[in-house]
Structure 1
């Protein structure tokens, strides 16, 4: 059984818009309306999204950073925390991101400000060792989340019930390991993931896998695609394959990847159904996307 900051058990119940609607209807019959009607989803952050807002290099939130020094006692190799400076809307969901084999955090640094400016606290980490395999990277992602929510300077800005993980290559495999180990997490996005384990049928966390069509380091036919296929069919899951792109397509700013990553995290960490329209219906193959598969948010 997994734990997170003293909480024991599986992931907390996700916010259900239908439950709120039923509550409003019942209250109307009784002649009263709950005060919460002013904001049906208390986890929404930022203005109503548009196609241009999810594709923009920056979101609506101003951001700042703080550095976490390498310290072997904390379980990961240090990193950089990117966070929104405005807390007037409340606390934020948070994500930890791991680089891949022989990479430093610089390989995934572009996600930091991009995601933070959309309303997340983002921790881009270095691993204990650049040669660490996926499972240790998964453990380090979880240690980074624990640091964020319990000991970091921005812990009071974070809702510890709304957390996710991303990772590139072996870090992507690590993100699968992390959600397999800690099912109360809310979202995962493995980026060109590599792992020797092909079976992720026990994963119970909404997962979007992003791969490159011509990846020869972690070929999608033997990594990303079988990982996706092994995830339960009942799970909210998606597979995005970038047309003509290789293993490192996820390591530099990319509008398509940002759009889908932001929408996935917003939908499942913030329970924000305003972003469903960027995920469903599934996009058709085009000059950027060679394949897209999903179950669409249930």
Structure 2
């Protein structure tokens, strides 16, 4: 289903947040599309889409796919996705429903990301870009794709970057598209198998890869994220720790499924995680020197809410 401008809503950026030196768009259009899936027996995915508002002359933006955490609805990421889009990205947030087997052998059905979404979303965005009836016609940079991910979605993203089909997050086969240029993931680790396994080498094959962790994450602990970061094989890479955020700092509201309560407000956590996610993606999808300096040179002095470790 093409992007429908009649269903779009302009989402203004909260005035309380100080302006950032990286060029930003003041408004973002939010609407919905349907992602056609390559697996013929699967139902297409509904997706929220966030697009920077521009003047009459269209500007092309890279696509950024947000891979949702397990059992977390796409609507929970609206604040975060809006903020990332303001940095010059088309952010796509699908609801992907499937069944998977947990480490304890239990079968779980519900919202859960998988690697094939990377190719499905890219294919849909190529179609939208070529469709003269779509609001996205000639507005998508189809050569550049970035990944975001939360929790289980981050695990899926790390699998996709490695160009391997990992059990539990990949069905059949997977080939990483050449357009995939970078990924940054919140509240995740790559313990394999999840919960009970070890931390294998992450063969990112020179694709810039970053992790963001809340210092108070009680689901995917900071220690687990740090161990995952150390296993990322090749730079550029970064680990950004958000002080006082828990596992759900990326969502609109906190969630009691994390037993650890945050000390950073939800609004601060959302803004901080989105800002650093966008800077990392701008550095590597758009070759933005200001964003690159934020991540690799100025991180620990620029933002008191974070601690940054990076290698370029």
- The TM-score with structure 1 as length reference comes to 0.70
Aligned residues: 242
Q: 1:76 to 1:239 in 2, by over 3 A?
A: farther
Q: Do the aligned partners of residues 227 and 137 (structure 1) sit closer, same or farther apart at CA in structure 2, a change above 3 Å counting?
A: same
Cα offset, 1:97, TM superposition: 0.4
**Which residue does 2:294 correspond to in 1?**
278
Tell me if 1:187 matches 2:182: yes
Higher share in helix: 1
Structure 2: distance between partners of 1:84 and 1:283: 26
- Provide, for residues 175-207 of structure 1, a one-character-per-residue CA deviation record: whole Å limited to 9, x for no partner: 112222227311101110144333343113111
Give 1:248's aligned residue.
248
Equivalents in 2 of 1:136, 1:125: separation in Å? 9
Show the counterpart of 2:27. 62
Give the aligned partner of residue 65 of structure 2: 96
> Which structure 1 segments of 5+ residues have no match?
1-50
> Which structure's residues are more often strand, by fraction?
2
Distance 1:277 1:75, change over 3 A: farther
Matches of 2:190 and 2:44, distance apart in 1: 19
For residues 279-294 of structure 1, the aligned pairs below 5 Å read: 279-284=295-300, 288-289=305-306, 291-294=307-310
CA RMSD of the aligned region, Å?
3.1
Secondary structure of 2:97's partner? coil
CA distance in 1, matches of 2:222, 2:93: 24
**Are the aligned partners of 2:95 and 2:111 in contact in 1 as well (CA < 8 Å)?**
no
The structure-2 alpha-carbon separation of the partners of 1:195 and 1:229, relative to structure 1 and needing over 3 Å to count, comes to: closer
Q: Is 1:61–1:119's contact at 8 Å kept on the other side of the alignment?
A: no
* C-alpha distance 192-148 of structure 1, shift in aligned 2 (>3 A): same
Relative to 1, partners in 2 of residues 1:188 and 1:272: Cα closer, same or farther, differing over 3 Å? same
TM-score (norm 2): 0.67
